[in-house]
Amino acid sequence: MKKVVKFGGSSLASAEQFKKVADIIHADEERRYVVPSAPGKRFDKDTKVTDMLYSCYHLAEAGEDFESELAAIEERYQEIIDGLGLAISLKEEFETITENFKEKAGENYAASRGEYLNGIVMAAYLGYEFVDAAQTIRFKDSGEFDSELTNQILGQRLADLSHAVIPGFYGAYADGRVKTFSRGGSDITGSIVARAVKADVYENWTDVSGFLIADPRIIENPEAIETITYRELRELSYMGAGVLHEDAIFPVRREGIPINIRNTNRPTDEGTWIVESTCQKSRYVITGIAGKKGFCSVNIEKAMMNSEIGFGRKVLQAFEDYGISFEHVPSGIDTMTVFVHQDEFMDKEQKVVSAIHRLADPDSVDIEADLALIAVVGRGMRATRGTAGRIFSALAHANVNVKMIDQGSSELNIIVGVADEDFEAAIAAIYDIFVIAQL
Ligand code: ASP
């Protein structure tokens, strides 16, 4: 068995956290490939090393003095090195970084140094080989991640190594220029490494014990999700359930490698398993609830719309022409509603409305703002009668007016639209009926 283990920034924020990580790695000899993030926050008001690197580089780029800011970053690593009693020195590395900052090596290069240096420290601490991601993870000239070439290069490089540390978050173009993934991208690196070594499990260690059924800022102490499928997770993370970078599932998903989200501070918790498919029933009919505020709906009415061929296309054309993506399009006989992100839509609304009139000749167009969408997700819904009914009676009891309902054809989710101000009450009502009432 082989396991790839990725540790997030808060798991590596201090020497103390590093020691917990080493204990976790040593507790299971299958944990052989390690992907570290850069040191994160040690306490609430602390700054992540990645953010320090960005601001330090912006000073360098503006021709201002950046050396004291860089010294503060060096200090963070030195504290970890000293706390671990390691004999290594990053002095030369920081000299190189200083030179490269002076030569304006770019923001991507700057940000990547957080993971690069942490990888060096981690490799020294564990006695594992350090494999630089700039030499093994490739981007195409277009900026897109080159999955196949990477899999080949990284697969070959790791084939001879029984243990290795590969820093997260970045790779490079063919000419060696460093490029990072988007923020939180070390999760993606972990997944890429898991695919390259054909791991049995990709363990992603963070500071929570997995995904929760609902957002803890809304529901006090929500239950954790034990097992979730990739498809369910897509629905939930699209609607804002954080923890794992959205793109991190793709490399492992194609190989059927499960992801196990674990908590570095509570290593005995089972965490959440993310799997391709499962016969395990979720404890409740629903697997999770997530949602977002800040949508608006554009309601288009036209008598006999249902029999007019091409009406929907013409309406959507108006959105496309102004570069606006739509989220949901529920429709009735004479009405069609298009849900869009309010902040994207606001500046262009009048242009889009007049384009709808020009292209589709509707009877009326009316806009409603400040709406929230809530996704109730669960593979168990397909086999359970009355799920939608329960959601709506719960919302009615909570005095929440439902503005929109959309059930995906997969029967994996039901999306409910409510006013922004009803968002929290709606989530609480749905959680109550499916989780609390079942306890
Ligand atoms: N250090 C990077 C960030 O803060 C990447 C990561 O932690 O995954 O976004």
CA 346 to chain centre: 26
Residue 110 binned pLDDT confidence (cut-offs 50, 70, 90)? very high
CA dihedral sign, ordered 365, 366, 370, 371: negative
Q: What average pLDDT does the segment 138-161 reach?
A: 97
Indicate if ligand 1 lies below 6 Å from the C-beta of 181.
Answer: no
* pLDDT in the model for residue 241: 66
Whether 409 and 425 have beta carbons less than 8 Å apart is answered as: no
Q: What is the pTM of this model?
A: 0.86
> Percent of the chain scored above 90 by pLDDT?
82
- Predicted confidence (pLDDT) at residue 259 exceeds the cutoff of 80: yes
- Predicted confidence (pLDDT) at residue 9 exceeds the cutoff of 80: yes
Q: Strand 170-172 vs strand 178-180: parallel, antiparallel, or unpaired?
A: antiparallel
Looking up tokens 């993934």, which residue turns up? 181
Residue 50 binned pLDDT confidence (cut-offs 50, 70, 90)? very high
Indicate if ligand 1 lies below 6 Å from the C-beta of 184.
Answer: yes
- Predicted confidence (pLDDT) at residue 132 exceeds the cutoff of 80: yes
* Interval between CA 119 and ligand 1 midpoint (Å): 13
Give the 3-state secondary structure of residue 7: strand
Indicate if ligand 1 lies below 6 Å from the C-beta of 37.
Answer: yes
**E strand or H helix at 274, and its extent?**
strand 272-275
Which residue type, as a one-letter code, is found at position 360? A
Indicate if ligand 1 lies below 6 Å from the C-beta of 48.
Answer: yes
* Interval between CA 179 and ligand 1 midpoint (Å): 13
For residue 334, count CB atoms less than 10 angstroms from its CB and return exposed for 0-12, middle for 13-18, buried for 19 or more.
middle
Indicate if ligand 1 lies below 6 Å from the C-beta of 39.
Answer: no
CA 169 to chain centre: 13
Q: Whose CA is nearest to atom 6 of ligand 1?
A: 184
Q: For the chain, give the mean pLDDT.
A: 94
Indicate if ligand 1 lies below 6 Å from the C-beta of 185.
Answer: yes
**Can you tell me which atom of ligand 1 is nearest the CA of 115?**
1
* Interval between CA 135 and ligand 1 midpoint (Å): 19
**Can you tell me which atom of ligand 1 is nearest the CA of 9?**
7
Q: Which two tokens stand for residue 239?
A: 């609607």
Indicate if ligand 1 lies below 6 Å from the C-beta of 36.
Answer: no
**E strand or H helix at 125, and its extent?**
helix 107-126
Per-residue pLDDT of 25-48, as tens digits, reads 999 999 999 999 999 999 999 999
Indicate if ligand 1 lies below 6 Å from the C-beta of 49.
Answer: no
